[in-house]
Amino acid sequence: MKKDFPNLHIDTLSAAYARGEITPRALMVQLKHRAIELNAEYNLFIHILDDKELAPYLARLEDPAAKALPLYGIPFVLKDNIDLKGIPTTAACPDFAYIPERSATIVEQLIELGALPVGKANLDQFATGLNGTRSPYGLCKNSVLPEYPSGGSSAGSALAVALGVASFSLGTDTAGSGRIPAAYNNLVGLKASKGLISTAGVVPACRTLDCTTLFTTTAAEASRLLGLVARRDPRDDFSRHNPAWNDATAFGAIAPGFRFGVPETLEFFGDAESAALFSVAISQLESIGGTAVSIDFEPFLEAARLLYEGPWVAERYLVAGALITKNPQAVLPVIHDVLEKAPHYSALDHYEALYRLQHLKTVCDAILADLDFVVTPSMPRPVSLADLSKEPVAANSRLGWYTNFMNLLDYAAVAVPASFMRSGLPWGITLFGRVFTDQYLLSVANTFQHATNLPLVGGHALPAPKSTGRKARNDKARVVVCGAHLEGLPLNWQLRERQGHLVSATTTAPHYRLYALPGGPPLRPAMVRASEGGQAIEVEVWELPSAELGSFLTNIPAPLGLGKVELADGSWETGFVCDGYAIATAEEITSWGGWRAWLGSRAA
């Protein structure tokens, strides 16, 4: 492209359109030539749209009203297991190919928003692989160092952004395919919470686990795109509603004081440089206000092993199995080897694995309960094309060390660039957290990107962060509970289901009286501030998204409500209070010092 041509960063390109420096039609002419040229070297495309195929999309944007569309003229690429109406979907298997009569929901959404499809990207066949070499359409080389792979399975999707053919791209992620290519190519890879981005019109790998993913140059772009497309889709039985605390307004500055988990035992497979770079990344997260907390990572790793050592491989077989039976030569040998054991799993195997996974999720969720997120390397160490040639399965498996558990455990994840290795190869980290914490993770990733200030793909500088007029915040509220909402008691689920987590177990200042209200079950407490005769009462401080506080309040029956409670350290927090009129018929239990002690006395 010409040196004075604007880069494809979404805001930069939109500004160029607004100034009249370029039109979508002129841009697509240049991108088409660039795509063809790069494809000869990198094999990033399976299909590049021709002039006739592009015509209806360009014609729509020539309506003057289209200039108001939020993604007007923004080029994107989609992985070739995602449907684009009238264009073959191959999943990198020519004998599997079909021509869809309708685009995938996510593609329909983007086109409606003004985005322009450039082409269908190459991938590991049937999205089975993390390296980008398992395709009859050619292997995908790394965008920076040709002796390394692009990473897969969304190999071509990542290359399209890294090589400047698209502003963003769509991939998929079942076991890491939306994060490993991002790490290899200096990109942000958003694997949003399952169901937030529709998978209707996506060829399944494991339908119960699949996610449609976004590759962008910045976390801010990923946040903007997610805010536009995170919608419940009636076409997708696995689609989910995006809660209010996770909408686009949640993206922004983060308050210091966040706590992030770091695996106490890390695996780098002997790569001292990756280990050193990860230590630097931890220091950078601490420099922006975080506190590192060591965690046991073995439960996460055990969950990861279930993906390929358990019956979920049989779910992959549902798509390719009929073709393998009918025409084994149609499927690459390495894919056939991965899937060949699938028919031998029984229903007993399936349920045994489900029970084990549910236990592991309980354990892992408990580890996350007191953390804002966990950080890992995106991959233990980069593997080269030579490594993959020598050990195609083992080398590929090493790439998934920190990725395979994510969808099994129903977590959100963002891969973000962190550094460059001495060789010049990009190197990155992944932030992951509880389901529906996507915008918070992107906010942390955005702050981290500005702290590291790495050059973006194409050598462009990171745009200055936009001021939102808001103070840094963590969009969370604290609630003091003293009775049935305590950890392990009957109403604690009302906090847990709202993504609440326990901050501390403490007591009030010594100025309160505690009562048990009549009625139940469950039995309910009433805590009243006393002018005399009070004492310290056992309480817990819980934190939950601010957007959930209103729905929590509506579940609180009279005479209870929320007000300010003084804690032992002199601080005041929002907590349960009670109207004074209710005390006349209540049983005072102040002398027990807390609800648990009183319940224990009743049981005795």
Q: In what order do the strands lie in the sheet with 587-588?
A: 525-529, 512-516, 587-588
Active-site option among 177, 193, 223, 378: 177
Looking at residue 6, its pLDDT comes to 56
| Active-site annotation holds for 85 | no
**Phi and psi at residue 328, to the nearest 5°:** -55, -30
Angle at 294 between CA 288 and CA 295, to 5 degrees: 125
First to last CA, the chain: 80
pTM tops 0.95? no
Q: Domains in the chain, please, with CATH?
A: 24-452 (3.90.1300.10), 476-603 (3.10.490.10)
Confidence of residue 7 (pLDDT cuts 50, 70, 90): confident
| Active-site annotation holds for 79 | yes
Looking at residue 3, its pLDDT comes to 41
Distances (CA, A) of 196 to 211, 231, 323, 350: 8, 6, 31, 26
- Give the torsion sign (CA, 444, 450, 453, 457): positive
pLDDT at 409 over 90: yes
Of all residues in the chain, what percent carry a pLDDT higher than 70?
Answer: 96
- Buried b or exposed e, range 217-240, using 16+ CB within 10 angstroms: bbbbbbbbbbbbbbeebeebebbb
Q: Report pLDDT digits (tens) over 394-406.
A: 999 999 999 999 9
Q: Report pLDDT digits (tens) over 492-531.
A: 888 887 878 888 899 999 989 999 988 878 888 888 888 8
Higher pLDDT, 522 or 428: 428
Amino acid making up residue 318: L
| Strands (DSSP E) found in 517-592 | 525-529, 538-545, 560-566, 572-578, 587-588
Lowest mean pLDDT among 72-86, 193-207, 209-223, 567-581: 567-581
Question: How many CA atoms, within 13 angstroms, populate the side-chain half-sphere of residue 76?
Answer: 33
Q: Report pLDDT digits (tens) over 114-159.
A: 999 999 999 999 999 999 999 999 999 999 999 999 999 999 999 9
- Buried b or exposed e, range 5-20, using 16+ CB within 10 angstroms: ebbbbbeebbebbeee
As a whole number of angstroms, the distance between CA 110 and CA 472 comes to: 31
**Phi and psi at residue 236, to the nearest 5°:** -115, 110
Provide the token pair at 145. 């160092």
DSSP reduced 3-state for 39: helix
Confidence of residue 475 (pLDDT cuts 50, 70, 90): low
Higher pLDDT, 29 or 308: 29
| Active-site annotation holds for 3 | no
Lowest mean pLDDT among 76-90, 331-345, 391-405: 331-345
Higher pLDDT, 46 or 564: 46
Active-site option among 79, 141, 191, 194: 79
